[in-house]
Structure 1
């Protein structure tokens, strides 16, 4: 297959993430030994680096979400494969590399101390899976197109696009990249740049391929002009409102009319495929020993405060498990008596200003409280307090014990079956109401791994343990419920209500049509008077504005946009009413302003088109691919 000829210019990254800036500043001089040490580190991180680069491009182009989200539980003896694309395996390491990089990006954005929620962890893991799938599909497309990398392209790419790690290495004390030192190192024959070359040869085809796809984006001049007009053209309109009356609840609707309405709306009565499961739940509960440890830890903190080695605010900042107040030195502000946990409330309002309580337990864990001041506001007693919270969490011994028990449950289910294992180990089994894909599971909540397993396996399948922050689940798929259309009898009352509402709407529409006919024949004002309609006038507005008195009615704005100046619109449907509109003012095109804004609009629209094109292209090849997600494997 003949290789595609790409202009050399597209071989270069344009993202600032990859662009170094030449500098005249003195850099930290690198010895050959230093470069070799750096390259050793570079070689060790090559796999992760390749994913960093791929992610930097793919994440920005595709906004793909879905499926199961967390790294699966893996036991000894399992294959090091998390899935496949068209028969090509995706290794656990590839998936984990993507997940680690996404995790690192989140930490960089939100701080090292940030702890993502259960939902965020799920989303990260699903993104990592999707990126692994993308990598496989894009590699196959590149192979089919026979995209190659010449030595000249490689050299030009490496010269103009130093790897981010090398940008840091060749930067001075002030963080300025020393481009000339980088070029001299590249030209040094004694330095082995094999790993850098391997990185470049892996990345350049990706860049060529994506740039080729993005180059398909074309923005017609008429679309650019329309975008400018939408954002700058101001309008003013007169209008009348014709309200839709309430539906008559006693109105009779013939059965054939209801049947016809059912056929018309039948698509909307489809219910998605559902699954019914039963689960064994093992709660991750702290032990009495964990409770004692938490109380002892808090007693030690209080002793340090009392001994003067640390003040209360610092102790809270360094030790409190209350994320909302720790950074504020545990300050809860003023609390009203009776507004907190009963025990917290009792202790806080029993203290004297400046006094620190003994450790006590609430529903959240163990606390110590310091009363700062009291006051009475609007007849209610209030206290300004600080607190240190130590939550009671499973300790190492408890976790080890739980892990041992989970292994025992796993083995018993494998040997004896789901129900028999539950009976043998005295574990309750819960029947869960049917649920659709992508939905919350009643009595369990948002646990995408459970949904993914249920929809990825046949009835009778049992999962490996699925862990959340508070619970470990074993899941058995009991029933696969296919998609269905609700029968006429089930939706008859809804159809009857819709038919009555449609009659009320038709009456309002007929009144609006009659009013408009008079407005055209006798003038807008005279027609409105003849039908007892009040004329209202909008302030100046643009097409995408919220219009006072009208709101965000897109149909109203669109009608004004399309109307000739002075023309009267047909009835325009709004929320519970019809509008008849007369456009009375429209601003002229500012040609000079358009000339200034045009380039920016073209770039903006090209990016939008390119993003849609890339997403549609990717979805197209993804839909054709055979993708197997094995992250949630069956136990039975």
Structure 2
């Protein structure tokens, strides 16, 4: 049974379908199931969220992150990201929203449901919904139409109730004006920089101070646990001779992956570009047009298009290739360019085409119609894929059987070395890459999950299945101070230098408030600098760098006023004074009004929705079964 499950998960057809269906089905199938045993993870106003639903939601969330992070994804990251809590919170929120939909009499009509299902690309053939394909895909995943339609209806219902809640958000003209001011008001400051390295010679290092510092910081110097693995790779190539692939399997695989073998309509074209901005003046427009017409005339008189493109085209991406853009499908180019390119016959030269980039001349080299590659054209590829998949399964079975023999004491690792190449990794910490293996992060994760004396574990990868065991373990330890004294002393000096620089900056600010900025600068013997004007939102402070805290404080000051505290930015300590606050020209508000409204509305809608959800949670009776689900990992 386990092998069958693994086989189904590895099947590319099933993977493709799951990618389209799983988000709907996993999150919603199973609501309201009442188990005879207390197998629920939570109750929301009496509605149970059963364990199976929670496990599927957690698995789906983990899969999304696995796809995002690729081979870097591991169980430790899942724990650090709190996926267990996120999955349960997601299900609780959905239960509350479904109740809210019922309270508001929000429904999903049969017409809305049908339209949503028919729009799913996996259920379409030739761009149109295919009932046969729909039923075939559901059957392949052991989902009935009723189950899928119920889960889709729930998804649509959740979307509708969320939209209804978000629609309550409003943005006032006063908020738009305040945001415009906030974005466009500028400040100019004077500053004095205190460089910690200048204070390092003043730092006194005593054995007592260093020992005290090390005692407080010693965990930073802890050497991590290190492990090495011995392993055998069961590669699929060794099993391909035992694989048989039937014509029926090839035909079935081809049908399952039909979309993969569909070629969309495409053209291959060359172009020459005379670059011109959209907001060009009438005179600039005229000159560019005359120039492209002149180039077109040269081509009509016999000049080679590719040679001319290399000389005069202003598209750096295609110029050196003679203007060749390769094959592209519809939707890949700007509409003006695409419309002309797909209307030309091979070898035909276009009239000048204006796009946001400027003027183009287009010549189509080839026009490839949409088609479905027949089975015979891709048969070898399909057969290779099936053979590879089956060989990987045989490799896994061999590794798994060998592990069971190790566990039963029938063989030892020394015995394995007689028939297999047993390799050993160097000693590695949890954060170090494993050299020379596929899926190195997962390999490392398995290695650090092994107990001393454990016979081993298996790890499936695209390269084959690894059988690995713990070869050597060096525990983590905190070294004696003398072993890392140079490192510790250097860190202590830097810390103390920063403290002394900050103290000096504080003394400077106190003097500036008492005697005036100019007098304090003169007395300090340091040089004050003045920045260019900068805005509060976005971007760094000129000359100083990125510091939201500094900006927040500066824009709260009045001109001539110094900041209460110094700021540490990019390793330096800064004392600052506001020189000038430049109010924006409100005449520019109208041009920005709708853009600001849209941005603020999106933000407020998100806030309204989150606040509403929190209120629903606050008013709800939520019981979490701590015995059944752990939310700390």
**Which TM-score applies when normalising by structure 1?**
0.49
Larger fraction in helix: 2
